[in-house]
Structures are given as structure tokens and as C-alpha cells.
Amino acid sequence: MATQKLVAPPARAAMFLTLTVNDGSEEAVRDLLTGMSGFTRSVAFREPDEHLLCVVGIGSQLWDRLFPNLPKPRGLHPFEEIKGDKHTAVSTPGDLLIHLRSGRLDMCFELARLLGKKFEGHAEIIDEVHGFKFFDERDLLGFVDGTENPEGDRAEDAVTIGEEDAAYAGGSYVIVQKYLHDMAGWDALSVEEQEDAIGRSKLDDVEMDDDAKPANAHIKLNVIHDAEGKQLQIMRDNMPFGSVGEREFGTYFIGYAKDPSVTEHMLRNMFIGDPPGTYDRILDFSTPKTGALFFVPSVDFLDDPTPRG
């Protein structure tokens, strides 16, 4: 079963496109999806060292329109808003997510341009973010982001659907949120206060001792376990983005998981708190403007959409 390539070393550049599909364009879009691997090869092959990757996700409502006669992937549903006392994880529209990564932005841009032409008349691009890697793999809050991501087999295991939903084995789920930061507020904190918010040191990226980590630290709320005590993991590929003129400084959060309830559990911890009330301190300086969930089919399904297993 060929999977879309999700696990890869951090890329230098990324683009995130969210699309809604026009009524009546279902057949055209089904066809276009079967061509995605070919479109990607057309651009990637010209600069193989730049490792251009394209991942496509399908939203719940579009799934029902494209494949009304197929069983629904088990974890696929519209992203549900999470309302905490102070902060809300909003749910916003999205039929398709296209996640492009490469060593160079021009590679992402060229594929996006090609896809834009192909989808023209059939879908609208309602959100487009160009992400870049910042010094030392840091986010715009100044912290190294991605350190504790699973790697290799552990990452594959975290993101790849297996026998639990055999018809869609080799697929995955992805949740995205576009966050904007209040940089003035964040910069007004001392470095120690910022470190308390994340749960790691800023300069050298070392995790705080457990007894020193505040209950509302980002990593305290995002380290979660199953009933047997095994840590539940997702694979993140966050990217900074922004516009100096618009005073826009953001983090595009993207988390892949074989079971989206793991990411949703993390989000509940962040927005509601665990215990309730201890919401994630980074939310006082980070506001999600979007929120959506997509099923990421295997390449085999994309090329020939019939379920297996």
C-alpha cells in the first residue's frame, strides 16, 4: 500500500492551500485527485534534490459528495469547535487541503500554480499560506519547534492507519490551524515567563524538569498517554509565516495522526485545560483563525478510489 509521504525531515519551505469545491464539480475533482501524483512528479522531477512533496487531504462534507457509495473513513468528521473559558479553537470551511513542502519555495509555488490552473472553475482557494523555516527551526515566538516529533518507524506508526480501518489502511488524518501571534504581548514577557509557557528553555531548547513545569505549559498539556500508559503521538510540521506590513506573525499548525482523536485530545487539553481551567498559556498570545480536519488517503486510493481490505 503506497502511502502519501508524510514523514520527512523538516522542509525549508511549505505552502498550505485550503479549497472549497464548487457544486457540480464532483466528477472533475475526483478525476483531478487521480492525477495528483503525476502533477507532483512533473515539478519534483526537475529538481530532485529539493524533495518536493505534496499531500492531499479530503474534508468530511466533500467525502460524502465525492464517494457517496463508499464507507466513510472511521475518523473522518467535520472539525468540531472547542470552546474553552477564554479561548476557542474555531472550526472553518475546507473541502481539500493541499500541503506542499520542499527545500525551496519556488518548487512549492510552481506546483501550486499548476494545481491552481487545473482546479480553476472547480474549486476556490479560500486560504493560502506560504511558510518558511526560521533560524534554528524556531517558530516566531522564538522557540525551537518540532524537537519531540517522533521519527522513522515511530513516526510512521503514529500517522499511518492500519488494520483498525483496513479499507483505508495506509491513509492518515490531518488537523490544521492557522494561528496569529500577539508579538507585542509575548515580547513583553521575560524569557523565564516565556519558558514557563512552553515548558522548555528558549536558547538551548532543553525540557524543564517535571516538577518545575507549570500545569499550563504547552508541552505539559500536549504529552498524553493511553490507558496502558503509552504516550500518544502525532507528527507536526508547523511553519512560521507572516507579513511585516500587515503586522501579521503566525504559526501554521499541522498535525498528522492515524487517529484524529489524539490531536483532538491535545486540543481539548490546550483550550479547556487538564484539569479544566489550566488552558495552554501560549493561547494568550496565539489565536487560531482557522481549524479543519481532513482524511489523507493512500496514494493507491487517490490513483484508483476504491476501498481495499
Mark the segment that binds ligand HEM (CB under 6 A) among 63-71, 80-88, 125-133, 214-222.
Answer: 214-222
Examine residue 148 and tell whether it contacts ligand HEM (CB under 6 A): yes
Q: Give the CA dihedral 63, 67, 71, 75, nearest 10 degrees.
A: -10
Work out how close the CB of 130 gets to ligand HEM at its nearest, in angstroms, rounded to a whole number: 17
Grid coordinates representing 125? Answer: 482557494
Residue 199 half-sphere exposure toward CB, CA atoms < 13 A? 20
First to last CA, the chain: 11
Examine residue 40 and tell whether it contacts ligand HEM (CB under 6 A): no
The number of angstroms, rounded, from the C-alpha of 110 to the middle of its chain's C-alpha atoms is 21
Examine residue 87 and tell whether it contacts ligand HEM (CB under 6 A): no
Mark the segment that binds ligand HEM (CB under 6 A) among 19-27, 113-121, 143-151, 301-309.
Answer: 143-151
Kindly name the residue from 127, 145, 165, 274 that is annotated as catalytic: 145
What is residue 153's DSSP assignment?
H
Work out how close the CB of 223 gets to ligand HEM at its nearest, in angstroms, rounded to a whole number: 5
In the block, cell 514523514 appears at 7
Dihedral sign of CA atoms 38, 39, 43, 44 in order: negative
The residue from 99, 101, 178, 200 that contacts ligand HEM (CB under 6 A) is 200
CA pair distance 284, 194, nearest whole angstrom: 11
Phi, psi for residue 101 in degrees, rounded to 5: -135, 145
Q: For residue 202, what is the enclosing H or E element?
A: none
The residue from 35, 93, 146, 305 that contacts ligand HEM (CB under 6 A) is 146
Q: Give the CA dihedral 113, 117, 121, 123, nearest 10 degrees.
A: -40
Of 143 and 294, nearer to ligand HEM (C-beta) is 143
Mark the segment that binds ligand HEM (CB under 6 A) among 30-38, 142-150, 164-172, 292-300.
Answer: 142-150
Total of residues contacting ligand HEM (CB under 6 A): 26
Q: Could you give the string, one character per residue 265-294, with x where binding to ligand HEM holds by CB under 6 A and - elsewhere?
A: -xx--------------x---x--------
Q: Is 139 a catalytic residue?
A: no
Measure Cα distances from 72 to 65, 66, 165 in Å. Answer: 11, 11, 10
Examine residue 243 and tell whether it contacts ligand HEM (CB under 6 A): no
Residue numbers of the site for ligand HEM (CB under 6 A)? Answer: 139, 141, 143-148, 177, 179, 198, 200, 218-219, 222-223, 234, 236, 251, 253, 255, 263, 266-267, 282, 286
Report, as residue numbers or ranges, the catalytic residues: 145
